[in-house]
A and B are shown apart, each in its own frame.
Chain A
Amino acid sequence: SAVISQKPSRDICQRGTSLTIQCQVDSQVTMMFWYRQQPGQSLTLIATANQGSEATYESGFVIDKFPISRPNLTFSTLTVSNMSPEDSSIYLCSVLVGSGELFFGEGSRLTVL
């Protein structure tokens, strides 16, 4: 299993600013992901955070808008840059453990005014 600490849990931000979300795992994991979940919707994969190299982004998501860092196997950050109200969402980090299960952080609820 894995215990994930994600922060902030929520934030209200002004348009045009940037917010960095942190994800700390209690064990070393190879696969770490960032998801976005808009109200009442499913989870959309933003990117796979790769340790020591650039993240792998899914279609519709770009590094300039969602820069990701993964300095080691237990920590990652996601930045939401130049925010607009359309970026209001819940952002979740997730890790894939050896058994094939996904474990999620508690999520960061972002509201952009």
Chain B
Amino acid sequence: GQQVMQIPQYQHVQEGEDFTTYCNSSTTLSNIQWYKQRPGGHPVFLIQLVKSGEVKKQKRLTFQFGEAKKNSSLHITATQTTDVGTYFCWSSGNTGKLIFGQGTTLQVKP
């Protein structure tokens, strides 16, 4: 079945370093969304990407959707301790099936 693979599973960085997580699909995605889940919290919507090659920025966060609409990335510049959490990609795929990536857990050392 359709899967969305997300890597890495964990990332430990020093505060101020950059961080990137990637989502890859075996099939074309109609759109992709990114969510952040703080420890002990619930997922919160960050952004939605729809167009091929789309790039969106939110302050230190940069989101990209691949040209083939099969992959996406979230990049954080100069991480801060407030960035700690698990980042998930989510897509409805091209079959309407709702799929979450496995998540990347980010730890930031002050």
Q: Count of A-B contacts with CB under 8 A? A: 37
* Cα separation A29 to B103 with both chains bound (whole Å): 27
* Cα separation A42 to B100 with both chains bound (whole Å): 7
A45 located at the interface, meaning its Cβ lies under 8 Å from any Cβ of chain B in the complex: yes
* Cα separation A51 to B77 with both chains bound (whole Å): 43
B102 located at the interface, meaning its Cβ lies under 8 Å from any Cβ of chain A in the complex: yes
Q: How large is the interface on A (under 10, 10 to 19, 20 to 34, 35 or more residues)?
A: 10 to 19
Name the one of A33, A40, A101, A105 contacting B45, with C-beta atoms under 8 angstroms.
A101
* Cα separation A33 to B42 with both chains bound (whole Å): 14
Name the distance in Å between A26's Cβ and chain B's nearest Cβ.
16
Shortest Cβ-Cβ A-B pairs, 6 listed: A104-B42, A101-B45, A43-B100, A42-B102, A42-B103, A42-B100
Could you list some 13 contacts between A and B, CB below 8 A? Answer: A41-B102, A41-B103, A42-B101, A42-B102, A42-B103, A44-B100, A45-B100, A100-B33, A101-B33, A102-B33, A102-B45, A102-B90, A106-B41
